[in-house]
Amino acid sequence: MNCEENNEKKENSFYVDSDKLSEKALEKKHRLENDPSSRTDPFEYMEGMERIDSNIMNQVISQMDSYDYSKYTAQDVLYALQKETCDIEDFKALLSPAAAPFLEQMARKAKLETSKHFGNTVYLFTPLYIANYCENYCVYCGFNCYNDIKRKKLSTEEIEHEMKVIADSGIEEILMLTGESKTMSDIHYIGEACKLAKKYFRNIGLEIYPVNSEDYAYLHECGADYVTVFQETYDAAKYETLHLMGHKRVWPYRFEAQERAILGGMRGVGFSALLGLADFRKDALASALHVYYLQRKYPHVEYSLSCPRLRPIINNDKINPLEVHEKELCQVICAYRIFLPYIGITVSSREQEHFRNGIAKIAATKISAGVSTGIGDHESKYTGTEEANSEGDEQFEISDGRSFDQMYADMSNEGLQPVLNDYVYV
Amino acid sequence: MADTFTLGGKEFSSRFILGSGKYSMELIRAAVEQAEAQIITLAVRRTNTKENENILDYIPENVTLLPNTSGARNAKEAVRIARMAREIGCGDFVKVEIMRDSKYLLPDNQETILATKMLADEGFVVLPYMYPDLYAARALEEAGAAAIMPLAAPIGSNKGLATKEFIQILIDETDLPVIVDAGIGRPSQACEAMEMGAAAIMANTAIATAKDVPAMAEAFKNAIIAGRKGYLAGIGRVLERGASASDPLTGFLRD
Amino acid sequence: MVQINGKMEKASGVCLLDYLTQAGYNLVGIAVERNEEIVSKADYDKVFLEEGDVVEVVSFVGGGSR
């Protein structure tokens, strides 16, 4: 093996051609993949996209661009660990490779910070996917419009049935998700789902395509109070090569989603980069600073960060998070906690049982249970009955399939106090 | 790079703001010189026609004057005093002080926010004296303040950083310079506030009531420089006593 | 009568500039407020005091703590 080969950076190969695509569709797909000039400008807002006056994006980007993590030393890390308050410079040190040997110390500090703000509680919730239609071509996502999967949109009756099954299991907090299709899952469809959710759950979060502030206000009226939008990557140049088509391609509109949700009256907003898509240290820095600067501007809002890594999808089981191993993920989560002690940190079922148990004792405050990322399959999953053919396919493969009861018991056995909701809607 | 801070477009290298109350005129001059202060506070009062001594004659030319609104009990009175101060003709800096409690002389944050807004809108460089409350600090920032001046302890009490935890919150959470004002009684307390990341210190009584005024002014100057350097250098490691013997938290990690 | 710095003075109809000079004010370091409005220095010779006016003449003194 020669040196060049050895140094070559590993990349995921995302492109998959379904044999069900027409020749014309394939041709368009290949053009989008291979010819950057065939793609739209990711900085150009599409018609109907609201623009807000905000300097948050510039602040985050300038910090991220100037972040040279190779310059931090062990001394910087030790200094950051002994300080009472962690500032941006300290956080940069904690995210750097120099912090790797100090992971145990970081975990101890993170645990202390978590316990100051959350005691030993851990919140349990479940996601409910109500539709998987999507108009975007995001190359790493199982829902992407070129991926050959079973599509499904739940009817109101089906949504209610799913909710009943989930609520019967004991869960009180729900996160509703859709694929990103404004035509198949329009805002009123989602609003109606929120109204239904009010009947069965105490706390309703949404993870849907970004919308304008007036739409967020409408969804808030319908009962939703938390909005999560994953930026996927804060590296706009990389983003452009991964989100080849659809409204999701517009990077700044997505970036400003949480701020629009706040303007629409939502109580809480969630953020994340999908680690493994680009330089994870820079993405982690930008995710946390996105929260940091918004918190200073809107101090009344509740903030949370998720920490997903890339996962295999249907028709592409090779996708993986590259250099973001469990150790690196743990470092990122500990650094988040030390820098932003007051925020919620969610660790999804993309991670395995041993990791979720371990990280819940250090820094995570929110864990999903009884998870399915498919559409309309809660009954079969929860009761163990055979899968019906009418279900929609999953967004990604989960790694921790524990039921709500099992998770509740496991968290209690780990010495944590599971909390089902801690919330009032006003 | 010079370590300076900026107020109203003016750059200052000295982080010691000196109050000019409670001294004789001659001592003010000596104190300013020994303090190497670049900002000095003054009050506005009815002119005395019998004594024609003008305090401005005792203050070096290059020093920025910071008139305060002492005597004001509400926002409207503070605005009137600020306008009179500007009309005397020494710039548009103003320190808003509004007190409605003659026993403790604690600032009224609500009126202070109103006055700050009105004065900032009129083009003043407004430095409000405040009780260290985060909501008030944010409102003052929103209102257009150039800095905030939280109190360390009741004015003139020389009790030091009684509000330390709250001042630290203001330093951490606002983008404005935080100038610690009132209650600082000793050089060591000024030093401690600077170590916390305060942009500057304002002191008066501690210097004016010292046995040797110029010497105390110099002591404060040096303490403020020392505290600032300590802050910039990064306060060092405090060893934790006793090792924690529990199992490793990160033992679960696999790949 | 005109109230000047709290004292009642027989100064109705008097030019402000004349009053200040005769009363011994040093015009350099003062500001004048008449009925809660600032009188700019350039206008001292144009302002004539009227019956019932309330005038404040102020200057800087040492201050910073009480």
Provide the Cα torsion A155, A159, A160, A164; round to 10°: 150
B234, B248, B252: residue with CB nearest A355: B252
Which chains lie within 8 Å of chain A at 3 or more CB pairs, if any?
A: B
B50 flagged as catalytic: no
Residue C66 at interface with chain B, using a CB cutoff of 8 Å: yes
The answer to whether A282 and A235 have CB atoms below 8 angstroms apart is yes
Is C56 in Cβ contact with B55 (below 8 Å)? no
pLDDT (tens digit per residue) in B121-176: 999 999 999 999 999 999 999 999 999 999 999 887 788 999 999 999 999 999 99
Within a 10 A sphere around the Cβ of B232, how many other Cβ atoms? Answer: 11
Residues 115-144, chain A, touching B (beta carbon < 8 A): none
Closest chain A residue by Cα to residue B168: A85
Which chain B residues are Cβ-neighbours of A103 within 8 angstroms?
250
- Is pLDDT of A426 > 80? no
Between chain A and chain B, are at least 3 CB pairs below 8 A? yes
Give the gap in angstroms from C-alpha B184 to the nearest C-alpha of chain C.
11
Query: What pLDDT sits at residue B245?
Result: 57
pLDDT (tens digit per residue) in A346-381: 998 989 999 999 999 999 999 999 888 888 888 787
The answer to whether A335 and A305 have CB atoms below 8 angstroms apart is no
A78, A296, A362: residue with CB nearest B173: A296
Is C66 in Cβ contact with B56 (below 8 Å)? no
Q: What are phi and psi of A270, to 5 degrees?
A: -120, 155
Give the gap in angstroms from C-alpha C23 to the nearest C-alpha of chain B.
7
Closest chain B residue by Cα to residue A109: B249
ipTM score above 0.95: no
Task: Delineate the domains of chain A, giving CATH numbers in brackets.
Answer: 39-419 (3.20.20.70)
Is C30 in Cβ contact with B67 (below 8 Å)? no
pLDDT (tens digit per residue) in B184-231: 999 999 999 999 999 999 998 888 888 898 999 999 999 999 999 999
Number of A–B residue contacts, CB under 8 Å? 47
Higher pLDDT, A194 or A9: A194
Domain residue spans in chain B?
A: 5-254
Domain B5-254: give its CATH code. 3.20.20.70
DSSP secondary-structure letter at A248? Answer: G
Closest chain B residue by Cα to residue C28: B88
Using CA atoms, how far apart are residues C66 and C64, in angstroms rounded to an integer?
Answer: 7
Task: Delineate the domains of chain C, giving CATH numbers in brackets.
Answer: 2-59 (3.10.20.30)
Strands C54-62, B39-46: pairing is antiparallel
The angle at the Cα of A178, spanning A174 to A183, to the nearest 5 degrees, equals: 140
Query: What pLDDT sits at residue C65?
Result: 62
Query: What pLDDT sits at residue B243?
Result: 53
